[in-house]
Chains A and B, each alone.
Chain A
Amino acid sequence: MSITASLSRLILQAKANAPLWKKAFFSVLGILVGINLFLHPHHAHFAMETITGFWAIFGVCVCVAMILVLKKIIFILINKPEAFYDRSE
């Protein structure tokens, strides 16, 4: 299929430009917080929501905390070898 081939080429090109994508990603994040300086909720559902960049801080903090707690503590406690349940036979 020719669509697949041309898409593959585009994807490989995009991969080669990884540093550029990284810059684009960080600037988008900056812009989102920038807009937040001017745009505030009319009636906040959460009291904290009126703080500029609250959802940004919430997102990154919850995400990092989740990964650290789950991967560094929970995962070590509950992870067993793939064949753990097969031993009963």
Chain B
Amino acid sequence: MTGLSNFIHPALGFIALALFLPFVRENKIWRWLLPIPGIIAIMGVMSMQDGTYGPLHWLGLNMVLGRVDKLSIIFAHVFAIEALVGMIFAMHVKDKLQHIAAALYIAGGFGRVFSGDYVTLVLFWELMSVASTFIIWLARNKRSTQAGFRYFIFHTMGGLFLLGGVLLRYADLGTFAFTPVSPGAANYYDWLILLGFCVNAAVVPLHAWLPDAYPEATVTGAVFLSAFTTKTAVYVLARGFSGFEILGVMGVIMAIYGAAYATIENNARRILAYHIVSQVGYMVAGIGIGTAMTVDGACAHAYAHILYKGLLFMCAGSILYATGTAKLTKLGGLASRMPLVMICYMVAAVSISGFPLFNGFISKNITITGAALSHHTWLALGMEIAAVGTFLSVGIKLPYFAFWSKPEYTGEVKKLPRNMYVAMFMAAFLCFFTGVYPQALYRLLPFPLEYEPFAPWQVLSSLQLLGFTGLGFYICRKIIVPHEGRNLDFDIVYRFVGWVGLFLAKYPVALIDDWWTSVYRRIGLAGLLRMAKGSSIFDAQGIDGVVDGTAKSVLGLGGILAKVQTGKLSDYVGLSALIGIGIIALVYFMR
């Protein structure tokens, strides 16, 4: 079953788009190219057969670019759909760089899902990391620049944990194959790899990059970010670390932690970012518990989550686009001014909260029931608490203070481009469709599942839980009013490290630098001048004419180098990624 005959890697279309975009001038033409790779990817994933495709022999390594089985297909399936929806949502954006970054980011996501070995995984991992940093930077304001740096540094750290673990594992086992680790026999390098995965999955307390950076990304970029990074991490956890009991506990902590922070947050997009932590918590918990049912639940929840969280970010992004702010304290009463956005938002909100007839109801309850059936009663109860917090903050608080509350927002509401509506309707339809027809989702699950989602008691208990959460909100509606401000989180730890570093650079290091400069001026420079004098005599008498061009060419090279040294770290990151790809290509072709 090798060969590329019936396997077209979905990443190819997106890489082609990224390479092709710079050469098309006319916006009217290239905007219609954006949805095409998504459509190709959907068709490609639909027609895939299980097997291993496209093994590459590179640098003496066996790289597997296409490991296709049920687990990779369910993630690729929803990735392809969300890539299409997200690209349609972004079609009005005239900044090509944003589309290029998004396309490469999506390509990285597909690459990771289909990678059968750790080398391929790490390569696509880093592609995603760089591309996603650009998605944040391309919001092009000071906050996003700073948040992007913190994001990039933290992800590089996570990537290094992974790489270290992978190399140590290779030294021990002599293989890069990406195979499941059995919880009882995990080695120290397995834990290192797990740590790298946990950074990506935003496991508390390694999660702070997420609510720090995502709200600063572009309106359209945040939709992609919400879908891919954490969900590829869920995929690799499900692939490698299913049944690790500690993940079960950490997952439930994440679920409650994210919901709790969302309850006291003011920025709508940061509320949603905290809810990524919370919802990914359910998936991590399902993987940690590790029975067939909970792993199914984790995959189903990832599928549902990508659809409704993308939609939530689209709606919050629409509010930001139309009014210029995402702060609940500045919004209110938007329901009659943006009715369609409000309806789409409510579809997503009831989906994430797990209302019957919407997709979250199916997927969340598979995980919780699975946890209860395998006698993890406390974990299941923790997930129910998080469900209350979810409905409270995303289902009631956010829409209430954005769409219904007084005083009403009286400023300008910009008209939304039509493509944004189209994307939101598509996502809303899918949330509803997989909610009323869960068999479409069941077919994709990695393990056969015996679960009746619409059992009367299940429906009644869910409705009771959510309805009375509403009552709780009604009782406390005066207390939960949002306030301006920034809530401290674990990012203060590495911000503090940064401040210490900056302080050291400012004072002791600067002092040494000063001292060194003066020494250099006295001794080094004088010596150099003397040498120059000598060589100029030599030059004038003998060499002149022979190597006349050298100085000029050195000068020219210096000019190019000076142009490259912009002093912007963002440029360096992009450049080093480019050089890295160049070197990889060179090694591949010269071998």
Residues of chain A having any CB pair with chain B under 8 Å: 3-4, 7-8, 10-12, 15, 25, 28-29, 32-33, 35-36, 39-42, 45-46, 49, 53, 55-64, 66-68, 70-72, 74-75, 78-82, 84-85, 88
Contacts and interface: CB of A to CB of B under 8 A. Distances in A.
Contact of B486 (A12, A15, A59, A79): A79
Q: What interface size band does chain B fall in?
A: 35 or more
A14 to B, nearest CB: 9
Majority DSSP secondary structure for residues of B touching A: helix
Contacts of B173: none
Interface of B: 260, 263-264, 335-337, 339-340, 342-343, 369, 372-373, 377, 380-381, 384-385, 388-389, 392, 404, 456-457, 460-476, 479-480, 483-489, 495, 499, 502
Given A58-B465, A67-B480, 6 more contacts: A29-B470, A32-B460, A59-B472, A63-B392, A63-B473, A81-B486
Given A4-B340, A82-B486, A60 B476 contact: no
A66 B260 CA distance: 8
B373 A59 contact: no
A59 B388 contact: yes
Contacts of A88: 495, 499, 502
A63 B466 CA distance: 10
A37 to B, nearest CB: 11
A48 to B, nearest CB: 10
Contacts of B488: 78-80
B465 A71 contact: no
A74 B264 contact: yes
Contacts of B343: 7
A42 B468 CA distance: 23
B153 to A, nearest CB: 15
7 contacts: A15-B335, A28-B467, A45-B372, A55-B461, A62-B385, A78-B489, A79-B483
A56 B398 CA distance: 22
Among B260, B380, B462, B467: residue with most chain A CB under 10 A = B467
Contacts of A60: 468-469, 471-472, 475
Given A60-B471, A63-B473, A70 B377 contact: no
A42 B337 CA distance: 47
B500 to A, nearest CB: 11
B486 A56 contact: no
A46 B340 contact: no
A81 B485 contact: yes
Contacts of B486: 79-82, 84-85
A79 B487 contact: yes
Contacts of A63: 388, 392, 468-469, 471-473, 476
